[in-house]
Chains A and B, each alone.
Chain A
């Protein structure tokens, strides 16, 4: 049941416990209980809205940064990753296979702000060897959702 619950929440976390209970053939109390448990265990980490900021008067600049680092003895990449992801400007950070080590997503109000963050905070970290910054120009799809993908239901209103 938990897996199915997670699948449901992943798509739409605004369903009520009653609705989810009906979908899972259980009671709202049990759903609530299960969600609480999943929260406490750190399985469910957050319930976020996916927002198209372009549509509000709020400029947000996003950069995807390829970071090469020297792993540290005994701590591998985790220590340096932690130093990086602790900055609130960093919205995502992953260890990668391939041509670079850490994939870091940085958000800021302007390009300059992001560039300065990279130059002043990220690049000078001791084990960071290099940073390649790529600015996002347009988002097409995120979390399975297409930006500007909404279109009106144009089906005939009655079909037998």
Chain B
């Protein structure tokens, strides 16, 4: 009668998948007074009030039941209009849009629909930690591509070409990118499309940070007609509308693919939370001004953060999307891990080691500017002091 008797039943590919591992920092910072965390990957803004209010109203009116599996049709219609208005993408609300429990579910079911044991899924890194995990859970093999700072962390067609084998089922791209803050523009995608258009490979495009693009407008790979039928566009409300805790996102893709993905969603989740769905309708109808207000504020902080890190003596690629900076810390002579650990212990500032987002993230750290300008200012002072000290030690 002991757990050890069934331990052997746990699937190997689950056991083999490492947990998103920075627990030690988490425990450390929780016991610290006066610490500043630049490790939080979510907006510091509260959800705009008009959106919250719609959620509250829906509860007051007793709207506490399931919605249709795909989500309320009103919401899907709003999503359809939003995708066209913002990104020039047309999707039929009836059978090409599915409301999910955050972008995370969308990534999971997209991968599960296409990959299984023996298959390969291309995952460019550094990238959001869930991509690789979701692939591993299916028994498929994640094939990583190393995004390079000298390419401004953009995905290059020759890299993709090199990674493709006959087992490749899908490629997961995420721009604007977590953790680098990189984006891809039209020309970058056009080059990529050249190598992907004739391949029978699905593109899972995670565009959660699309609204948080600071140079020009966000471009989706689904804008290319030769890619649209095989691209699964994932977007959501967490980042743009500061709605992380509501757990609501969506998928847009070809109806035939969506029908299959919907089955997983139907059996695993039924539907996404309806309170969040009502709130999301309001977000799309009346949220544009608030999104702009938050984006403007992120942009100002972004500029201060990059400038401060560079002045502190760290090489810093200019991020133009999301709310992260990804400075190169090799000039300090420290590894990502020891940089973060020492910075936390000595100056009480938390950043996330770049290797948490893939082995090639070694030599970098991720800092978020989704925090107040006062916090950023104080953190930058401490970081500058720390970097100077470390560089002096090296001499």
Number of interface residues, chain A, beta carbon within 8 A: 14
Taking a contact as CB atoms closer than 8 A, the residue among B41, B303, B307 that contacts A159 in the complex is B41
Interfacial chain A residues near B42, Cβ < 8 Å: 155, 159
Do B29 and A158 have beta carbons less than 8 Å apart? yes
Do B29 and A157 have beta carbons less than 8 Å apart? yes
Stretch in A15-23, A84-92, A96-104 touching the partner: A15-23
Q: Mark B39-69, 1 if CB is under 8 A from A, else 0.
A: 1111010000000000000000000000000
Q: Mark B346-360, 1 if CB is under 8 A from A, else 0.
A: 000010100011000
Given A12-B373, A19-B377, A160-B356, answer yes or no on A155-B40 (Cβ-Cβ < 8 Å). Answer: yes
Interfacial chain B residues near A153, Cβ < 8 Å: 44, 371
A156 to B350, CA, bound (A): 12
A134 to B281, CA, bound (A): 40
B326 lies within 8 A of chain A by Cβ: no
Given A157-B39, A158-B25, A159-B40, answer yes or no on A22-B128 (Cβ-Cβ < 8 Å). Answer: no
Do A160 and B303 have beta carbons less than 8 Å apart? no
A156 to B303, CA, bound (A): 25
Do B129 and A160 have beta carbons less than 8 Å apart? yes
B323 shortest CB reach to chain A, Å: 12
A57 shortest CB reach to chain B, Å: 26
Interfacial chain B residues near A155, Cβ < 8 Å: 40, 42, 44
A74 lies within 8 A of chain B by Cβ: no
A6 lies within 8 A of chain B by Cβ: no
A156 (CB) vs chain B CBs: closest residue: B40
B378 shortest CB reach to chain A, Å: 13
Do A158 and B352 have beta carbons less than 8 Å apart? yes
A83 shortest CB reach to chain B, Å: 40
Given A8-B300, A19-B377, A22-B307, answer yes or no on A157-B30 (Cβ-Cβ < 8 Å). Answer: yes
Given A22-B304, A23-B300, answer yes or no on A158-B22 (Cβ-Cβ < 8 Å). Answer: yes
Given A19-B304, A23-B303, A23-B304, answer yes or no on A157-B373 (Cβ-Cβ < 8 Å). Answer: no
Taking a contact as CB atoms closer than 8 A, the residue among B41, B371, B373 that contacts A160 in the complex is B41
Do A160 and B22 have beta carbons less than 8 Å apart? yes
A19 to B377, CA, bound (A): 9
Q: Mark A52-90, 1 if CB is under 8 A from B, else 0.
A: 000000000000000000000000000000000000000
A25 lies within 8 A of chain B by Cβ: yes
Do B30 and A19 have beta carbons less than 8 Å apart? no
B26 lies within 8 A of chain A by Cβ: yes
Do B303 and A158 have beta carbons less than 8 Å apart? no
A11 (CB) vs chain B CBs: closest residue: B297
Given A15-B373, A153-B44, answer yes or no on A158-B300 (Cβ-Cβ < 8 Å). Answer: no
Taking a contact as CB atoms closer than 8 A, the residue among B40, B178, B303 that contacts A22 in the complex is B303
A152 to B129, CA, bound (A): 28
A160 shortest CB reach to chain B, Å: 5
Do B39 and A159 have beta carbons less than 8 Å apart? yes
Given A8-B300, A19-B304, A23-B300, answer yes or no on A158-B39 (Cβ-Cβ < 8 Å). Answer: yes
Interfacial chain B residues near A12, Cβ < 8 Å: 373
Other A-B pairs, 13, CB within 8 Å; known A158-B39, A160-B129 = A8-B300, A22-B303, A22-B304, A153-B44, A155-B44, A157-B30, A157-B37, A158-B25, A158-B26, A159-B40, A160-B20, A160-B41, A160-B352
Can you report 30 A-B residue pairs in the complex whose CB atoms are below 8 A from each other?
Answer: A12-B373, A15-B373, A19-B377, A22-B303, A22-B307, A23-B299, A23-B300, A23-B304, A25-B303, A153-B371, A155-B42, A155-B44, A156-B26, A157-B25, A157-B30, A157-B35, A157-B37, A157-B39, A157-B40, A158-B22, A158-B26, A158-B29, A158-B37, A158-B350, A158-B352, A159-B41, A159-B42, A160-B22, A160-B128, A160-B356
Seen from chain B, the residues whose Cβ lies within 8 Å of a Cβ on chain A are 20, 22, 25-26, 29-30, 35, 37, 39-42, 44, 128-129, 178, 299-300, 303-304, 307, 350, 352, 356-357, 371, 373, 377
